[in-house]
Amino acid sequence: MDSRGALGGLLGRCAAMERLRREVALFGPSDVRVHVFGETGTGKEMVAKALHEASPRAGRPLVAVNVAGFSDELFLGELFGHARGAFTGAVTAHEGYVARAEGSTLFIDEVGDMSALAQVRLLRFLEAGEYQRLGETVARRADVRVISATNVDLQRRVRDGRFREDLWFRLADEVIELPPLRERGGDVLLLARHFLRAHAAGPGAAPAVLSPEAEAALLAHPWPGNVRELRNAMRRVGVRAAGRPVAVEDLPVALQRRGPRRWGSLPSALRQRETELVEEALERNGRILARAAAELGITRQALWRKVRRLGLVRAEA
């Protein structure tokens, strides 16, 4: 297989990506439950898709759900479904993600954020393959392969008593760990060119080409938001530099760090640093305002005002 990465879109030449493709090829065709661990933006859902596409279940679509922030009622109702009238506002029955994934693969992201009750209910389903919809007493069965993911160390949470050890063992027949982009060397440039081709200005348009100075800036950046940050940056660069080489000035502010800083006036320096901090927090948190605001220690509304004032790419609420 070409190490540029045809398997499931998993691009990269570095040793960690070669190992990742071997693991996907090995575990994909089986029904083992795989837990995918990696920092935010490293491509955990892409790995889940690659595992699914390599399996006998590939004829049905992968079903993905992010359970971060789910209340107990929302978790149970969304994952397992609910009957009509199960709670206020339940005017119709809802089948849930498990039923939608019948005969296919269910990808559960951010499992480390589940409550104690949600962990118990998921454990019962994994043990028996049975579940109940909210508002029903009848047990339903489902043939579903579960792949889970998180950006936190679940084994540490098990030791701290914050995650059930028996659930961990049920979720993690195998563990796949994704490398952060800062550890992937020249893959940064390979991916950057791939994204520039994908986000060319229009049909048939030639993609923007990186100048040597821009390449050096990309390689020097620590990429706190990983591949997602790089993809978003190249989307903007592809528009700015259409039809000409990409200069360092075309890159996001956080990537334009070359040699000793020349901050200029104090207001300009403060604005530049504020832009970098906000942009990096957004990238680390998937551009979710609430999460980035919590990391920065401000309210979501205050962060939204900063995003508008600084002219940053739109973030999700």
What pLDDT, in 10s, does the model give residues 91-132? 677 889 999 999 999 999 999 999 999 999 999 999 999 998
Percent share of the chain, pLDDT over 90? 53
Task: Please state the rounded mean pLDDT for residues 277-301.
Answer: 83
pLDDT value at residue 2: 42
> Cα(85)–Cα(81) distance, rounded to whole angstroms?
12
Question: Domain 261-317 adopts which CATH fold?
Answer: Arc Repressor Mutant, subunit A (1.10.10)
CB contact at 8 A, 210 and 192? yes
Amino acid at 170: R
Question: Using one digit for the tens of pLDDT, what is the confidence trace for 124-165?
Answer: 999 999 998 887 788 999 999 999 999 999 999 999 999 999
What CATH number labels 7-179? Answer: 3.40.50.300
CB contact at 8 A, 149 and 44? yes
Residue with tokens 């508008």: 308
CATH architecture designation of domain 181-259: Orthogonal Bundle (1.10)
pTM for the whole structure: 0.78
- The residue ranges of every structural domain in the chain are 7-179, 181-259, 261-317
Where are the extended beta strands (E) located within the chain? 34-37, 63-66, 105-109, 130-131, 140-141, 145-150, 174-177, 209-210, 245-246
Comparison of pLDDT for 305 and 30, the residue scoring more = 30
Amino acid at 135: G
Question: Using one digit for the tens of pLDDT, what is the confidence trace for 24-75?
Answer: 999 999 999 999 999 999 999 999 999 999 999 999 999 999 998 888 888 8
Residue 223: which residues within 8 A CB-CB, separation 6 or more? 180, 181, 182, 188, 229, 230
pLDDT value at residue 133: 85
